[in-house]
Amino acid sequence: MVATDRSARRRGKELEDAIFEATLDQLTSGGFARLTMEGIAAAARTGKAALYRRWGSKVELVIDSLDATLPRPRTVPDLGSTRAELLQVIELFVDATASRVGASIHTLMGEASQQQAEVFKEFLMGRVMEPTKDTILDILRRGVERGEVRPGAVSPLVADVVPAMLFYQVKTCGPAPMPAAYAERVVDEVLMPMVRAS
């Protein structure tokens, strides 16, 4: 029986993926307060000691689980249209919020203590907000070169609008999917009127 249990245990990347999956599953189903290293270890079919060898706390494990699951920041290719490029950025974000990792972030935003919230906020700034803003600034610069965007619109303050609106939507409406037309409305009713060259 012992040999069978050991053979069933996963190792390496397979074990890491199982740990991350178990972490997000338990986070979304029971919340951060009920999340335990013991529960994660049992769900991932490993020992609690194996988790503590790599992660000193459940906060560290949650951050690594989110980091592994969130889509990697990427540049948006030149599509020949500022509107189309902005729309792609927002659609990528909307897709992420509708996923399990989006539900996990919503849980953390509503439940983490002040000290934990600061840690998660720092992670989200570096992993989501700043890369999104950098991508938007690149899109706006291309728009200036095409004559679609006024030069003064290439501003960090303007680039803040998209992640701020999207995180507000997540926080107020929860992990439910955003309306199908939400991305288009943000672009057509908010962003393009703000940045369009006269």
Is pLDDT above 80 for 5?
A: no
Q: Do domains 2-59 and 70-195 have the same CATH topology?
A: no
Q: Does 194 score more than 70 pLDDT?
A: yes
Q: What is the pLDDT of residues 25-56, one digit of tens each?
A: 999 898 888 999 999 999 999 999 999 999 99
Looking at residue 156, what is its pLDDT?
Answer: 94
CATH topology classification for 2-59: Arc Repressor Mutant, subunit A (1.10.10)
Find out whether 37 and 48 touch, Cβ atoms under 8 Å: yes
Residues 66-120: pLDDT tens digits?
999 888 767 889 999 999 999 999 888 887 777 788 888 878 877 766 667 788 8
Maximum alpha-carbon separation in the chain? 75
**pTM for this one?**
0.79
Per-residue confidence (pLDDT) for residue 167, from 0 to 100: 78
Q: CATH 1.10.357.10: does it fit domain 70-195?
A: yes
* Main-chain phi, psi angles of 149, to 5 degrees: -120, 140
Per the model's pLDDT, the better-predicted residue between 124 and 86 turns out to be 86
Pair of tokens at residue 147: 């004559």
At residue 6, the pLDDT reads 45
**What is the residue extent of each domain of the chain?**
2-59, 70-195
